[in-house]
A = this chain, B = another copy of it.
Amino acid sequence: MKRWLVNGVAGAQIEVTDRGFSYGDGLFETIAVRDGRMRFFGAHYARLVLSCRRLLLPVPEQQALTDGAEKLIAGDANGTLKIIISRGPGERGYRLPQTVVPTCAIGFSPEAVMPSPVDGIVATVCATRISSNPATAGMKTLNRLEQVMARAEWDDPGIAEGLMQNLADDLIGGTMSNLFVVLRDQLWTPVLDESGVHGVMRAQVMNLAEDLGLRCNERRLTPGVLDEADDVFFTNSRVGVWPVARIASHEYTRHRRTLQIMQGLAERGVIECAC
């Protein structure tokens, strides 16, 4: 991120005692900026509010976030905005500070929009597993070491994403994305009650699916589903949809349903998908 506001002030430093640094005690959002505006900000803010409540973090004011974002985006049309909310500085020990003064860091990087690759991406299956815990499942917390270790497994620029499984071998999602598989006229995506992140683009895809006559089910996905699937794709807020052309020994070529979904998203303003 090129430009930062920390608690409303331009700058790029935080206290070493910040509990975000000590314990990963906080949350973040990564938001696509298109035509100078945050895309799906309402959905990002709603997730942030719910997650703050679950983690007993003070909820940041919506206005403060949008004011900060506007100041950072300034004249740029496209880019990525990141909002980090941590529990702020603290003494040693896990106990919550008596008075929490949260840290709100907002960063922005101008970036060109990369259209989703219509032919699909190549993905790998990571050896690093994602752990299960209902207490933190679904949230974008600052505890991301498993994703870091999974992403460190490959260096080949031809591989765009890595699929992560839990210890029971269930498919959970990409290191930085949600997973969908198309089977006949159904769309399946992993249930996120124990691991994974309730992605904003995931929710968009689920809303859209019904309009396309695709019944969308959240369910436990075992690796065998990759054999049976017609299409496989990943989603996230920044890239929109990534059709998967190859993952391990599985190849997918038609992407029929995936392309329909991308077209539907494009109509809803996800310009990466306008292919």
A-side residues, CB < 8 A to B, are: 1, 4, 6, 11-25, 28, 30, 55-56, 80, 82, 84, 86-87, 91-96, 105, 107, 109, 128-136, 141-152, 167, 175-176, 194
Contact = CB atoms under 8 A, between A and B. Distances in A.
A242 to B, nearest CB: 15
Nearest to A28: B22
A144 B14 contact: no
Residue from the set A21, A144, A151 with the largest chain B CB neighbour count within 10 Å: A21
A16 B6 contact: yes
B148 A96 contact: yes
What 7 pairs between A and B have smallest CB-CB spacing?
A24-B24, A131-B131, A23-B144, A143-B143, A94-B151, A131-B133, A13-B13
Contact of A16 (B23, B107, B141): B107
Given A132-B132, A135-B128, A176-B94, A21 B20 contact: yes
28 contacts: A1-B17, A4-B16, A13-B14, A14-B14, A14-B16, A14-B21, A17-B107, A20-B21, A21-B21, A21-B142, A22-B28, A23-B144, A23-B147, A23-B148, A24-B142, A80-B92, A87-B148, A94-B150, A95-B152, A96-B148, A128-B135, A131-B131, A131-B132, A131-B136, A132-B132, A132-B167, A136-B149, A142-B145
A207 to B, nearest CB: 27
A92 to B, nearest CB: 6
Contacts of A93: 151, 176
Contacts of A143: 23-24, 143-145
